């Protein structure tokens, strides 16, 4: 019920880094990737990226892939990210998770400087790799490595404060995946993600609190999560909340309804 949604994560974590570049790309002329376009494989990496971005937005995905490849060969991180995503989702190219994995690995292995504009792409690469190591890639050398997955989520959660990473790390800690299970540590990360309004973290955190005897507070978090969940995740969150609501005392129910309305991004 809690499958990693790589597509959603990718778009969210890299969005800020892409925004500044997108403005410039949006004002670039749209022409085919040919001798008349003013852009060739010898062009600078940023010009190639701008061309690729604009071509992609206009449905010219073959031209976009070609431009991204040339820019990626010249070390442009945003182009590598875009190309990796296209392989991961089969968007304009045949889906190839192993090819995406290799490109994400290049981004992650290069690292970033503090304050770099490529931070969003780097975080996206960490999250994508964590997912691949968690599930493996059938028919490739990439096998399930829960310890590596947990370490990557920890890096994104601790260094960059990514709510989705905090949530996924907590789930792995609760399940004892890639290391020892530790409920207290899991609650710490769930609480952090809940403060950012992460619906899944709020639901799981609330369920843990409820099971520990904090009926009203736990039920409040689960109830508040329903106001933030996306349609795909709402059913399992609603199921948790309804199960708790059914066994809660009348006093806890009333208190939870009141508390749920006061739960904000701070998680208080």
Q: Annotate the chain with DSSP letters as a single string.
A: -----HHHHHHHHHHHHHHHHHHHHHTS----SSTTSS--TTS-HHHHHHHHHHHHHTT-HHHHHHHHHHHHHTT-HHHHHHHHHHHHHTSSS---HHHHHHHHHHHHHH---TT-TTHHHHHHHHHHHHHHHHH--TTSS----HHHHHHHHHHHHHHS--HHHHHHHHHHHHHTTTS---HHHHHHHHHHHHHTT-HHHHHHHHHHHHHTT-HHHHHHHHHHHTTT--TTTHHHHHHHHHHHHHHS-HHHHHHHHHHHHH--TT--
What is the tens place of the pLDDT at every residue in 243-268? 999 999 999 999 999 999 888 545 44
To the nearest whole number, what is the mean pLDDT of the chain?
88
pLDDT score for 193: 97
pLDDT score for 1: 41
For residues 214 and 7, the model is more confident at 214
Question: What confidence tier does 171 reach under pLDDT thresholds 50, 70, 90?
Answer: very high
Under 8 Å between Cβ of 166 and 195: no
Dihedral angle over CA of 212, 221, 173, 214, nearest 10:
-10
For residues 39 and 162, the model is more confident at 162
pLDDT score for 40: 81
- Per residue in 189-214, is it b (16+ CB within 10 Å) or e — as a string? bbbbbbbbbbbbbbbbbbbbbbeeee
What is the tens place of the pLDDT at every residue in 188-208? 999 999 999 999 999 999 999
pLDDT score for 268: 47
Q: Is the pLDDT of residue 22 over 70?
A: no
Separation between Cα atoms, residue 21 and residue 34, nearest integer Å? 23
Under 8 Å between Cβ of 103 and 84: yes
pLDDT score for 114: 79
- pLDDT (mean) for 226-234: 95
């Amino acid at each position: 019920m809690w499958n990693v949604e790589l597509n959603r994560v990718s778009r969210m974590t890299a969005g800020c880094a892409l925004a500044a570049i997108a403005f410039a790309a949006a004002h670039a002329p749209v022409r085919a990737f040919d001798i008349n376009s003013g852009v060739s494989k010898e062009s600078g990496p940023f010009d190639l990226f701008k061309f690729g971005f604009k071509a992609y937005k206009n449905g010219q995905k073959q031209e976009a892939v070609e431009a991204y490849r040339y820019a990626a060969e010249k070390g442009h991180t945003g182009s590598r990210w875009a190309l990796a995503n296209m392989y991961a989702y089969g968007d304009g190219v045949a889906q190839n998770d192993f090819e995406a994995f290799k490109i994400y690995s290049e981004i992650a292995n290069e690292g970033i400087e503090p304050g770099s504009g490529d931070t969003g792409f780097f975080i996206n690469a960490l999250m994508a790799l964590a997912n691949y190591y968690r599930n493996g890639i059938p028919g490739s050398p990439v096998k399930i490595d829960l310890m590596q997955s947990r370490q990557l989520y920890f890096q994104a959660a601790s260094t960059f404060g990514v709510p989705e990473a905090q949530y996924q790390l907590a789930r792995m800690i609760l399940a004892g995946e890639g290391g020892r299970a530790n409920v207290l540590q899991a609650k710490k990360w769930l609480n952090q993600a809940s403060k950012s309004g992460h619906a899944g973290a709020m639901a799981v955190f609330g369920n843990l609190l409820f099971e520990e005897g904090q009926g009203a507070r736990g039920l409040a978090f689960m109830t508040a999560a329903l106001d933030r969940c996306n349609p795909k995740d709402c059913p399992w969150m609603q199921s948790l909340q309804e199960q708790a609501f059914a066994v809660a005392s009348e006093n806890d129910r009333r208190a939870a309804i009141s508390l749920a309305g006061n739960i904000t991004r701070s998680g208080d």
